[in-house]
Amino acid sequence: MRPAVFFDRDGVLNEDDGYVFEPNALRWVSGAREAVRAVNDAGYFAFVVTNQSGVARGFYEERDVLTLHDWMASDLASVGARIDAFDYCPHHPNGLIAKYSVACTCRKPQPGMIKRLLERFHANASCSFMVGDKQSDLDAARAAGVAGYLFDGSNLEAFIAPLLTDWSRCLGRERK
């Protein structure tokens, strides 16, 4: 079972410029694309788990989130990096769009998105970790049984490099 790195999106992979949903508005955090490639090269799954309350608030639609994630995947591929899966929560209990105006188990700090991906990919939770920029990210990680690290906003590649270990040691055996 491979471990995973869970990335929050806004504030970790891209600058948190408030409700980003258009590719031309996205600004990568310094070292973000290289960090994803390092995660790939280390043999970890790379996942994005992101609250997208802009959907519930009526600022944009789910298709806009999917379009942005497709663009991000394409841009990452251009530097030899990949996200294995994106998951997002469109809900907010105070949303303006009725079908999204709910309290759910996927909106961080709830662990739903992380748990779904762990199960779907059969990832090893005990060797996995989350990189987030808010306490709610760390709370979701803890509730899902994975470690959490608070990103300081500097270079993401430099931040994540010391966190990537030979995960076979975590599993107690040599990787084959």
Q: For residue range 24-80, list pLDDT tens digits in order.
A: 999 999 999 999 999 999 999 999 999 999 999 999 999 999 999 999 999 999 999
Banded pLDDT at 1 (limits 50, 70, 90): confident
Give the phi and the psi of residue 77 in degrees, each rounded to 5.
-60, -30
Asked if pLDDT for residue 176 goes beyond 90, the answer is no
- Give residue 175's pLDDT band: very low, low, confident or very high (50, 70, 90): very low
Is residue 8 annotated as a catalytic residue, yes or no?
A: yes
For 76, other C-beta atoms within 10 Å of its C-beta total 20
Would the pLDDT of 149 be above 50? yes
For the chain, what are the domain ranges?
Answer: 9-168
Q: How far apart are CA 75 and CA 48, in angstroms?
A: 15
Let me know: does 115 contact 142? Beta carbons within 8 Å. Answer: no
List the catalytic residue out of 8, 84, 133, 137.
Answer: 8
Give residue-wise pLDDT tens across range 89-144. Answer: 999 999 999 999 999 999 999 999 999 999 999 999 999 999 999 999 999 999 99
Distance CA 43, CA 76 (A): 17
Taking 80 as the threshold, does the pLDDT of residue 170 lie above it? no
User: How far is the C-alpha of 62 from the C-alpha of 176, rounded, in Å?
Assistant: 40
Burial per residue of 13-42, b for 16 or more beta-carbon CB atoms within 10 angstroms, e otherwise: bbbbeeebbeeeebebbbbbbbbbbbbbeb
Q: What is residue 174's predicted lDDT score, i.e. its pLDDT?
A: 44
- Closest among 41, 141, 136 to 82, alpha carbons compared: 41
Is residue 70 among the annotated active site residues?
Answer: no
Is a pLDDT exceeding 50 seen at residue 7? yes
Contacts with 132 (C-beta within 8 Å, 6 or more apart), sequence order: 8, 11, 12, 108, 138, 140, 141, 148, 149, 150, 151
Q: Report the C-alpha gap between 161 and 172 in whole angstroms.
A: 21
What is the third-level CATH fold of 9-168? Answer: Rossmann fold (3.40.50)
Strand partners, 10: 14
| pLDDT (0 to 100) of residue 165 | 78
Q: Rounded to whole angstroms, how far apart are CA atoms 145 and 148?
A: 9
Q: Provide the pLDDT confidence category of residue 172 given band limits of 50, 70 and 90.
A: low
